[in-house]
Amino acid sequence: MIKKLIGKLLGKSPAPPPVPAGPPLGQRRDIPAAEHGIDPKLLDDNAVRVVRTLKEAGHEAYIVGGAVRDLLVGLRPKDFDVATDATPEQVKALFRRAFIIGRRFRLVHVIFGRGREHEVIEVSTFRALLDPAAADAVAGNEKTSKAELSGKSHAVDATGRVLRDNVWGPQIEDAARRDFTINAMYYDPLTQTVVDYHGGLADVRAKVLRLIGDPPTRFREDPVRIVRTVRFAAKLGFGLDPATRQAIAPHAALLANVPISRLFDEMVKLLQTGHAQASLTQLREHRLPHGVFPILDLVLAQAEAGGQGDRFVQLALADTDRRVAAGKPVAPSFLLACLLWHEVQGRWTSLKAGGEPPMPALQQAIDAVFDARIGDISGRGKLAADMREIWMMQPRFERRFGNGPYSLVDSPRYRAGYDFLKLRGDAGEIGTDLAEWWEDFALGGDDDREAMIAAAREAHQRGPRRVQGPKSAVRGEGGAPAPRDDSAEAEDNDAPAAPARKRRRRRRKPGGGAGEGSAPATGGGPEGAA
């Protein structure tokens, strides 16, 4: 008290209050190419172009985060992010096609190319390391407190979860506010220098996943870091440092406060890293609360029960991992359709047993599963439409006569539906002969197709006989016989046999070969499913 009084008399300002301990700032270390060993051939030309443009404009700019981590372990990153001291407005002004996005974190998407071949380089501004206690606290969340959050640059909810974080700062503070040491490194592709503040390179080489700062505090700031911990451990094969591991269980309940759409995106990332099976193993180990990922709750329950449903899912996950490893595209709709198929099938069977016609019953079963497992999330419309089309194709595959096969192979989603059918055969749910018949039909010429349809129609009219392919069928010498799938046709009893025709009036396509886009894909996530 006396010191304060003397200070006032002398005109001295009072000392600022002590700042609560936050993540350590670390110490900058510049690591040359000879030590870090990053191969420049793994870099993305557009990411380098963004860095060069920013630096030529007088700004700092680096490739950052997971891209640097992957480069250090010899992987080509799927995405390249850039961090800079330029504000979003300054970044946008430097590029012809750049867009400022986000509210929680304001970012710039710099777009290269057009259509399905376009590439997005995400550019973020260095953020300041702020005291959570000094942030504006709001009672609700992103949806319930929109008016209260308007105009705020730093805000948290009642649990300490960050809702707004748009205060710019120096690189050293930006590094401290990142989640893991292995994600807090910066790479300058022009000088080939890695900037490391928190021993990230050492942790990469030791294969250790370590949070920067106090793990409980970091999980409260953003509970999704718990999911990211699981994903990175599975993807990289890294172990968790003890402090990070011990903080997961006590804070896992905070995931209930995270928006459903963000959790859904994280779940898709878990399944599409190329290590889906390892990710599920990690989820089992850490026992995240039931309800965080309703779809994965179902998958884990099927795994414990075993049986055909689990076999089908495991084949789908393994096939997805193989496609990712081979650099092939994977459609989320295809994999999610696989994960939920047996629940759809169970509801479908129950509805049919209650007297509902087969196709309306399938529609109702799909709607019920969507409501129970996916809910109302952003982007659900396109995703749900793709999944629905894959499922609705399955009974159509049983009709191998009339005009149906022609329209089905010409469908834009045929390849996704076919791969799903093939996976069902591989899992033992149906006979493999059905997928083989459709493969022959898709690859065959017009004469082959007509002969196959005639044989299928004849077998359907005569009763339970084997469907014999034409002698000129593509797959085998003399055509591979395909057994009739009686159970599937019994399910589709609403489609009577079409009357026989002498010849189908169908215009021959140029070249007289297979129909456009008719070659089936082989794998769980077809290019046609993207």
DSSP 43-89: S-HHHHHHHHHHHHTT--EEEETHHHHHHHTTPPPS--EEEESS-HH
- pLDDT, averaged across the chain: 79
Q: Say what the pLDDT of residue 298 is.
A: 82
Q: Say what the pLDDT of residue 121 is.
A: 96
* Active-site annotation holder among 44, 70, 81, 485: 81
* The CATH number, out of the four listed (2.40.30.10, 1.20.210.10, 3.30.70.360, 1.10.3090.10), of the domain defined by the range 210-303: 1.10.3090.10
Q: What is the pLDDT of residues 280-313, one digit of tens each?
A: 888 888 877 777 788 888 888 877 777 778 899 9
* Active-site annotation holder among 70, 157, 179, 419: 179
Q: Say what the pLDDT of residue 377 is.
A: 55
pLDDT over 70 for what percent of the chain? 74
* The CATH number, out of the four listed (3.30.465.10, 1.10.3090.10, 1.10.540.10, 3.40.50.300), of the domain defined by the range 331-459: 1.10.3090.10
Residue 377 CB burial class (10 angstroms; 0-12, 13-18, ≥19): middle
Q: What is the mean pLDDT of residues 90-113?
A: 90
Q: Matching CATH topology for 210-303 and 331-459?
A: yes
For the chain, count helices (H), then strands (E). Answer: 23, 13
Residue 79 annotated as catalytic? yes
Q: Say what the pLDDT of residue 155 is.
A: 58
Q: What is the mean pLDDT of residues 127-146?
A: 62
* Active-site annotation holder among 79, 136, 214, 367: 79
Under 8 Å between Cβ of 337 and 391? yes
Residue 179 annotated as catalytic? yes
Q: Which of 49-63, 224-238, 302-316, 498-512 has the lowest mean pLDDT?
A: 498-512
pLDDT above 80: residue 440 = yes
Q: What is the mean pLDDT of residues 128-132?
A: 73
H runs (alpha helix) in 370-403: 380-396
Cβ neighbors of 317 (< 8 A, separation 6 or more) are: 271, 276, 277, 280, 335
pLDDT over 90 for what percent of the chain? 42
Q: What is the pLDDT of residues 180-202, one digit of tens each?
A: 999 999 999 999 999 999 999 99
pLDDT above 50: residue 511 = no
Q: What is the 3-state secondary structure (H, E, C) of 423-469?
A: HHHHCCCCCHHHHHHHHHHHHCCHHHHHHHHHHHHHHHHHCCCCECC
Tell me which residue of 395, 385, 423 sits closest to 526, measured CA to CA: 423
Q: What is the mean pLDDT of residues 261-279?
A: 85
CATH 3.30.460.10 at 23-130+167-206, yes or no = yes
Under 8 Å between Cβ of 129 and 22? yes
- Return the C-alpha torsion angle 269, 267, 181, 252, nearest 10: 180
Half-sphere CA count of 291, side-chain side, radius 13 A: 9
- List the chain domain ranges: 23-130+167-206, 131-164, 210-303, 331-459
Q: Which of 181-195, 314-328, 426-440, 472-486 has the lowest mean pLDDT?
A: 472-486
pLDDT above 60: residue 5 = no
Q: Say what the pLDDT of residue 528 is.
A: 41
SS3 111: strand
Single-letter amino acid, residue 13 = S
Dihedrals phi, psi of 133, to nearest 5 degrees: -65, -20
Distance CA 521, CA 423 (A): 12
Instruction: Of 46-50, 251-255, 394-398, give the range with the top mean pLDDT.
Output: 46-50
Q: Say what the pLDDT of residue 145 is.
A: 58
* CA 99 centroid distance within chain: 23
Q: Say what the pLDDT of residue 425 is.
A: 92
Please give the radius of gyration of the chain, using alpha carbons only, rounded to the nearest integer: 29
pLDDT above 50: residue 162 = yes
pLDDT confidence of 512, banded at 50, 70, 90? Answer: very low
Please say whether the dihedral angle defined by the alpha carbons of residues 258, 260, 261 and 263, taken in this order, is positive or negative.
Answer: positive
Q: What is the mean pLDDT of residues 64-85?
A: 93
Q: Which of 147-156, 238-247, 490-499 has the lowest mean pLDDT?
A: 490-499
Residue 81 annotated as catalytic? yes
Q: Say what the pLDDT of residue 81 is.
A: 96
pLDDT above 60: residue 21 = no
Distance CA 126, CA 173 (A): 8
